[in-house]
Amino acid sequence: MKPRLLIPLIFLLACTLTGSPRASPGIDATIPPATPRPSPAPSRATTQSGPTIVGCPAFPADNIWNTPIDTLPVHPRSDDYIASIGLTDTLHPDFGAGDWPPGSGSPIGIPWVDVPGTQPRVAINFTDYGDESDPGPYPIPPDAPIEGGPNSDGDRHVLVLDRDNCILYELFYAWPNPDGSWDASSGAIFDLNVNGPLRPAGWTSADAAGLPILPGLVRYDEVAAGAINHAIRFTAPQTQDAYVWPARHQAGQPGENLPPMGQRFRLKASFDISGFSPEVQVILTAMKTYGLILADNGSPWFISGEPNEQWDNDVLNELKTVPGSAFEAVDVSSLMVDPNSGQAGTSNFTPTDFFYLPVLFSQ
C-alpha cells in the first residue's frame, strides 16, 4: 500500500514519528523547521554539570536525557495518555535489594557492569534483529550480569560500559556461549561522549524505543548523593505504533490515545512530596524536573533502576503510593535541534504559540 498523507492539524503537539513493527525499518516523517539550527559535530563532553557514570558522561549535559522539562507545555493528549497507562495504577520501583522471588537468584532491577578499555571483544550472534543491531564484537565478559539472573527467560538485558572510552554496549535477550561469544536478539552501541547521531530511524536497540537503557536507570549512588539529573526509564502496558524524538522505534498498535515510544512525562509540580523519605524525595524531585521517558512495553508505571544491596526496599515501596493521575505528558518538541541528534536546545515556547501537527505516514 502506498503511504497515505494525513491532513496536518493546527494544534500543540509533539513531533510524532511513525515507526514500523519491531523487525522492520520505519519512515522518518519529521518536518524540519523552516530555518533549522545546525547540529554541532560530535565532540567529547566538556562539562561536568551533567550526570556521570564511573567517571563517564551519561551523554553531554545538553542531551535531551539530561535536560529539565519542568517548564515545558503539557501535551494536548496528556489526559488520554495518562488514562491509557492507568490513572489509579501507581508507580512501581522495578529495582531494589535482594532477589525476587526470594531465593530465586534473580536480582531486582537491571544490572550493569563497567570494564576497562582492554576488555577482550567477543563475537555476538544476533538471533532476531540483526538488521537493526550494531555489529560486534562487544567487550562482554563471560560473567556479565544478566537481568533476571542466569536462568531467567525474561528480557535478559546485558549492559556493559567501557569506562576508559565511555562507550556503552547493550544486549537484549542475551545468552552466553561456552566459547565466550554471546547470542542476543538485538544489540546497540552508544558513545556517551556525544549527542549523536541517534540510531537510524526505525531501528530498535536493546530497548523497544531504540534508546539506551543505562542512562535512564535510577542508580543508588546518585540517590545517595542527593540528586538525579536525568530522565528515568519506564514502561506502559500499551503504546502507539509511533515514536517521538529521541526514540527511533515503535512496538505498538494503532490508537492516537496511546502514548508513543519516547514520550516524556513528569510528576505534576503541585504533587506534595514533603511526606516521603529523603531518598524517595530525590527520585520524585527528578520526576518533576527531568521526568520519565517511555522506553518499552510492560507493566504500568514501572520505573527502572539498578539492583543494589544498599537499597531499602521498604523506603522504595513508598513510591507505590504515587498514582498515575499525579503525572502529565509533556511536549518536548521545542527542544529538538536536529531529529538525528539527542542535543536539546532552548525552548522558545510561549503559551500563545501554535504548531502544525507533523505529517504522518502509514503503510
**In the chain, which residue ranges form alpha helices assigned H by DSSP?**
78-85, 220-225, 278-289, 313-316
* Selection from 334, 343, 332 nearest residue 41 by Cα: 343
What pTM was computed for the model?
A: 0.85
* pLDDT tens-digit series, residues 37-67: 233 333 333 334 799 999 999 999 999 999 9
Question: CA–CA separation, 71 vs 112, rounded Å?
Answer: 32
Domain positions in the chain are: 1-31+42-100+196-363
β-pair type (124-126, 182-184)? parallel
DSSP notation for 316-362: HGGGGG-BGGGEEEE--GGGBS-TT--BB------TT---BPPP-EE
Question: CA–CA separation, 248 vs 250, rounded Å?
Answer: 7
Looking at the DSSP bridge assignments, the partners of residue 352 are: none
* Selection from 285, 307, 329 nearest residue 148 by Cα: 307
Specify the pLDDT at position 346: 84
pLDDT range class, residue 16, cuts 50, 70, 90: very low
pLDDT beyond 70 at 128: yes
Q: How far apart are the first and last CA of the chain?
A: 6
* pLDDT tens-digit series, residues 155-167: 999 999 999 999 9
pLDDT beyond 60 at 100: yes
Rg over CA atoms, the chain: 19
Looking at the DSSP bridge assignments, the partners of residue 330 are: 74, 264
Report the b/e string of 229-268 with b at 16+ CB within 10 A: bbbbbbbbeebbbbbbbbbbbbbbeeeeebbbbbbbbbbe
